[in-house]
Homo-oligomer: A and B are copies of this chain.
Amino acid sequence: MKTVTIKDVAKHANVSKSTVSQYLNKRYEYMGEETKKRIERAIEELGYQPNIVARSLKQKSTSTIGVIVANILHTFSTQVIRAIEDACHEKDFHIIVCNADDNPDKEKKYIDMLRAKQVDGLIIFPTGGNRELYERMVSEKYPVVFVDRSVSEIPIPAIMLDNVKAAKIAVQHFVEKGYERIGMITTSIIRNVTPRVERLTGFQQALQEHQLPVVQDYIKSLDPHQIREGLNEMLSLKEPPQAILAGNDLVLAEILNYAKEQHIQIPDDLALIGIDDVSYASFYNPPLTTIAQPTFDMGKKAAEMLLQKIQDADVKEEGHIYRFEPKLMMRESC
């Protein structure tokens, strides 16, 4: 497998390397029809494939962007990745996806590695644990956009759901259905993950707006494996909640699991709304009422913004947070 280079093609076609290079880059302007044909044939016969690595080195651009998700297990992440990929594909960009596992160290490692690989920009679902690094990228004007979460004081644009609104819509719906004792469970908020905090805030605000008491026993932020226990506590209260808002798809799955084990009827024994429109929502028994995020639009926007920044060097809209609208998918679990 002797790799055939531009030089071989040149020799084979009886022209110089640069002429071939021109051809490859479609700068046909001053090129003779004849020459063009010859080069074409040579490429064909030799089975030549340009070496993108070499080209990248020269051009200082790899047409590749890195995507670092905090946790690939969320349906949200996978859907957004799909959308990013689609958008990039149109512009002939490629993506390298990495999963930081909600771990700042891993995140740092991936940022370093992707930059070493010379990706042209980064889309990050930030863990929030690498402020210095984020700052350095900003000061170096390296193209970055955040998704799902933002990091306070860091002027990097972020694509986010209107989380407060999402929670409010849920509460609103619960209230309309006549529920008064409403709880909420989210995954852990130790590192102040924006969406969780915001959803919690929105939840409490909504309760107040509806003149409902904010019962701390009805509100829990736990790691997935602690959720069953938390639920157990919550539902063992003398006055347990009648309805629960699941902060994301993972929480929802845990609740559903628990409900099944304990033979809890949904929505009769417990009403449920989940944030994130899971794949099985529509055909679950009962169909699950959810708050959907416009994942596709969000991913697309993220990709477009990044590609924009990559081209225009400095578009000045740093630090802005772009909010997307949550949507109630009314089904039967509430």
Chain A residues with CB under 8 Å of chain B are: 1, 3, 47, 49-54, 56-57, 60, 62, 64, 72, 78, 82, 85, 94-99, 112-113, 115-118, 136, 140-142, 253, 256-257, 259-260, 278-280, 282-285, 287
Contact = CB atoms under 8 A, between A and B. Distances in A.
Contacts of A97: 97
**Identical subunits present:** 2
Q: Which of A51, A53, A98 has the most CB of B within 10 A?
A: A53
Nearest to A55: B116
Contacts of A141: 1
Contacts of A54: 57
Nearest to A62: B53
B280 A1 contact: no
A70 to B, nearest CB: 15
A247 B294 CA distance: 30
Nearest to A254: B283
Contact of A113 (B56, B94, B98): B94
A50 to B, nearest CB: 6
Nearest to A279: B253
B282 A284 contact: no
Given A82-B72, A140-B1, A253 B283 contact: yes
Nearest to A261: B283
B283 A116 contact: no
Contacts of A51: 57, 116, 118
A257 B283 contact: yes
Nearest to A258: B283
Contacts of A279: 253, 279-280
Contact of A99 (B52, B60, B85): B85
A136 B113 CA distance: 32
Contacts of A136: 47
B260 A1 contact: no
Contacts of A278: 280
Contacts of A116: 49-52
Contact of A57 (B50, B53, B62, B259): B53
B253 A52 contact: no
A95 to B, nearest CB: 8
